[in-house]
Amino acid sequence: MPSFPRRLRVTGHVEIEFMSQVKDETPDMPAAPPQAGRRLHPLPIRVMHWINAIVMLVMITSGWGIYDDDVIIRGLHFSPFWRLGDWAAWSLNWHFAGMWFLGINGLIYLIYGFASGRLREKLLPIRPSDVVRTVIDTLHFKIAHEDITVYNAVQKLLYIVVILAGISQVVTGLAIWKPVQFSGLVWLFGGFQTARVLHFAGMAVIVGFLVVHVALALLVPRTLWAMVTGGPHLAVRSRIRKGHAQRGHAT
Amino acid sequence: MRSPFRPDAVPDAAVLDDHKPLVRTLERRGLIRGGLSLGALVMLTGCDVKRPEAVESALLALSRLTDDVQALLFNPNRLAPTYPASMILRPPKFNAYYDVMDVKPVDGATWRLDLSGLIADKHPWTLSQLQALPRSSMVIKHICVEGWSYIGGWTGVPLRVFLERVGADLRAKYVAFKTADDYPSSIDMATALHPQTLLATQYGGDPLADPFGYPVRLRMATKLGYKNPKWITAIEVTNTYPGGYWETKGFSWFAGL
């Protein structure tokens, strides 16, 4: 099969991935920078992402089981289908078991993210004008996703919001789990019941994020696959991206 | 701290021999396969897994670990927030494993408090004897494991005062309670000695009403509502884990706030 004409026909991103594969086999490529071979999602990120994905589902669905014994919003119940644990005792056991995995995994993620510079590199800066432009583009169904290694402004914002929501869930969770030992936290949130409502609201934020996040990942399965295999190699990526961008300007 | 759930006696080694064929059939591959399919099941069914035994025992093991951490987090000198008497809810909220109509009142005149276990003076107590002990009051938040809460005002004999008076071994691990409504319960000694742990006889300045535990109930500011037995008829100090009504159904034993 002739590879050259085929390559001409393929779209930008496939070409990029093709070239990044070539890179591994071509000895006369320029010497790679020190972080060459670093993938979009390094192994620790992938492991922590999938642990978090499972634990989040456990926390959300077991939380719904706990919620149902004394609802916050009158009339809002979660049917047994959506609850983890066949009744409150086991929903609580799931929730307090998941708590350890969520807390420890999340803490390591934050330490890793700050220490490696990944959080800053991926999520900052966010310019309000970029947010507005991305929203307008999205409303016109112009969702740019050729380059999955760079997040648009709305993505950055959503990831920051969900990380903050996760931290908030741990803190409000501690407040309602130990309102005497951590009475300072309860005071900070304006009382036990307020902390409880905030814990519920944090769940709603995370579920909202989850719906968008999963929908987009399924729309662009490449992103989902990247969170399994690691995705494109970054050093090569950025070099090619420059060329890609220049071509874009020329047209 | 040793887990309160660890059995005092371990099974005989011969039991292992009896089950050797069974143990041999346990394969790591099977565990992994089982774990994966359980994970898939959890996702697919919206988690309507009817607690397979392995899951249940794993959850209970983690619950015991969490109980141990709760015991470590418990600061015996930290007092729960208190509130002005004007905020006391009257009457308090009734909650039990049965309806309020099914409450069987206890006669205070014939009521006796039996003592057993690691206690020097096991003479039963009458209500008037108990009421002659120094009392203390607190206006605290009652927090239910379900999520609701209210502010209540309780008066009674600090459990520490009572345990010291009867010569209880204060180094023992557990204080267990039996009640007239068949609601056994038990707490750790550290919480039993906390100043906001009362053998309550009054609510809002009046004697306890029948639905709320007359003549004597436990009231702790540092534990969830279900840890506070009503209509107490016996107290035991022990080193053997006594469990409790909800605990045997899967709820956390420590349940500290």
Per-residue pLDDT tens digits for B213-232: 999 999 999 999 999 999 99
Task: Please indicate, yes or no, whether residues A22 and A86 belong to a single structural domain of this protein.
Answer: no
As annotated, the residues of chain B forming the CATH 3.90.420.10 domain(s) are: 85-249
Task: Please indicate, yes or no, whether residues A111 and A179 belong to a single structural domain of this protein.
Answer: yes
CB-based contact, A78 to chain B, within 8 Å: no
Q: Are B47 and A83 in contact (CB < 8 Å)?
A: yes
ipTM of predicted complex? 0.78
Cβ atoms B34, B217 nearer than 8 A: no
Task: Please indicate, yes or no, whether residues A129 and A159 belong to a single structural domain of this protein.
Answer: yes
Task: Please indicate, yes or no, whether residues A82 and A57 belong to a single structural domain of this protein.
Answer: yes
Task: Please indicate, yes or no, whether residues A134 and A244 belong to a single structural domain of this protein.
Answer: no
Task: Please indicate, yes or no, whether residues A54 and A159 belong to a single structural domain of this protein.
Answer: yes
- Closest residue by Cα to residue B73 from A182, A165, A215: A182
Checking if the pLDDT of B246 tops 50, the result is yes
Q: Which two tokens stand for residue B230?
A: 């009503």
d(CA A249, CA B5): 69
Q: Are A100 and B66 in contact (CB < 8 Å)?
A: yes
Task: Please indicate, yes or no, whether residues A70 and A162 belong to a single structural domain of this protein.
Answer: yes
The arithmetic mean of pLDDT across residues B158-174, rounded, is 98
Q: Are B47 and A179 in contact (CB < 8 Å)?
A: no
Which residue in the set A57, A67, A187 is minimally distant from B43, CB to CB? A57
Q: Which residue of B has its CA nearest to A71?
A: B147
Checking if the pLDDT of B80 tops 60, the result is yes
Cβ atoms B51, A86 nearer than 8 A: yes
Task: Please indicate, yes or no, whether residues A166 and A134 belong to a single structural domain of this protein.
Answer: yes
Give the tens place of pLDDT for each residue, A222-233: 999 999 999 888
Task: Please indicate, yes or no, whether residues A2 and A53 belong to a single structural domain of this protein.
Answer: no
Range of the domain at A122: 42-234
Checking if the pLDDT of B248 tops 90, the result is yes
CA distance B222 to chain A (A): 6
What residues of chain A score a pLDDT lower than 70? 1-37, 235-251
Task: Please indicate, yes or no, whether residues A140 and A25 belong to a single structural domain of this protein.
Answer: no
The arithmetic mean of pLDDT across residues B58-70, rounded, is 96
d(CA B63, CA B58): 9
The torsion angles phi and psi of A179, rounded to 5 degrees, stand at: -65, -15
Which residue in the set A84, A89, A179 is minimally distant from B257, CB to CB? A179
Interface test with B, best of A180, A192, A198 (most B CBs within 10 A): A180
What is the model's pLDDT at position B240? Answer: 97
Percentage of residues of chain B with pLDDT beyond 90: 79
What is the model's pLDDT at position A244? Answer: 42
Q: How many domains does chain A have?
A: 2
Task: Please indicate, yes or no, whether residues A128 and A181 belong to a single structural domain of this protein.
Answer: yes
Q: What sign does the dihedral A165-A170-A171-A174 (CA atoms) show?
A: positive
* Fold adopted by B85-249: Sulfite Oxidase; Chain A, domain 2 (3.90.420)
B1 falls in which pLDDT band (50, 70, 90)?
low
Radius of gyration of chain B (CA): 21
Cβ atoms B193, B171 nearer than 8 A: no
Q: What is the CATH number of the domain that holds A202?
A: 1.20.950.20
Give the tens place of pLDDT for each residue, A86-140: 999 999 999 999 999 999 999 999 999 999 999 998 898 888 888 888 888 888 8
